[in-house]
A and B are shown apart, each in its own frame.
Chain A
Amino acid sequence: QKEVEQDPGPLSVPEGAIVSLNCTYSNSAFQYFMWYRQYSRKGPELLMYTYSSGNKEDGRFTAQVDKSSKYISLFIRDSQPSDSATYLCAMYQAGTALIFGKGTTLSVSS
């Protein structure tokens, strides 16, 4: 079993839809969880960061972490065509490198 599992999609939604992106992981020592967004032909950029279990909201984006289920989610409300990108979950424990999921490719049509 890979350390971080993420459904690669692709996921296609109409503009205005609510999008749910998810990752599961196996290493209970992971403490820090984040979501990166990668546009085509660009490097990933940090979108959201959470520490331990709970929710974090930033505009149209909400990140959730459930450490008991080893499950993290990213919700995008009122999705826009500009949200079309690949979303990568990432996580780590102190002193180790960031481990990425395989990424989910999202397409939002206008």
Chain B
Amino acid sequence: DTAVSQTPKYLVTQMGNDKSIKCEQNLGHDTMYWYKQDSKKFLKIMFSYNNKELIINETVPNRFSPKSPDKAHLNLHINSLELGDSAVYFCASSRVQTRNTGELFFGEGSRLTVL
């Protein structure tokens, strides 16, 4: 059973389109995250939700809108895609908000390519 699953794994789209990435975790964790990893492997926090409540919202363009329908799901919707949005987007979850071991469980990533 996959602990943190993301769909789709690959996404190729044109500039200006709107797209969504879905994430689900079956670990019973109460905190979920979206990270962006650029072509140089730099992994940067975008958002964090705890029990469906937004707790971290880094400096991210408002074209990016996360939604958490319940604590097992965290989706990411991106409007008006730009070339610079091309990256791998990772969903992650943890038991509490980066306390204790700071162990995040990551999905396999969703590779977005904007043409």
Contacts and interface: CB of A to CB of B under 8 A. Distances in A.
Q: Do A and B come from one complex?
A: yes
Given A95-B97, A100-B42, A102-B40, A43 B102 contact: no
Interface in A75-98: 86, 88, 90, 92, 94-98
B59 to A, nearest CB: 12
Interface residues of A, number: 25
B44 to A, nearest CB: 7
Contacts of A92: 98, 102
B102 A49 contact: yes
A4 B103 CA distance: 18
A8 B40 contact: yes
B48 A34 contact: no
Contact of A86 (B41, B98, B109): B41
A8 B41 contact: yes
Contact of B101 (A34, A94, A105): A34
A90 B102 contact: yes
Most chain B beta-carbon neighbours within 10 Å: one of A44, A86, A99, A103: A44
Given A43-B92, A96-B98, A97-B48, A102 B104 contact: no
A43 B98 contact: no
B106 A98 contact: no
B43 A88 contact: yes
B45 A98 contact: yes
B103 A97 contact: no
Nearest to B42: A102
Given A8-B41, A103-B41, A105-B41, A94 B106 contact: no
Interface string B43-55: 1110010000000
Interface of A: 8, 32, 34, 38, 41-46, 49, 86, 88, 90, 92, 94-100, 102-103, 105
Interface of B: 4, 33, 40-45, 48, 56, 58, 90, 92, 97-99, 101-109
- Nearest 7 Cβ contacts at the A-B interface: A43-B106, A97-B45, A100-B43, A103-B41, A46-B103, A49-B101, A102-B42
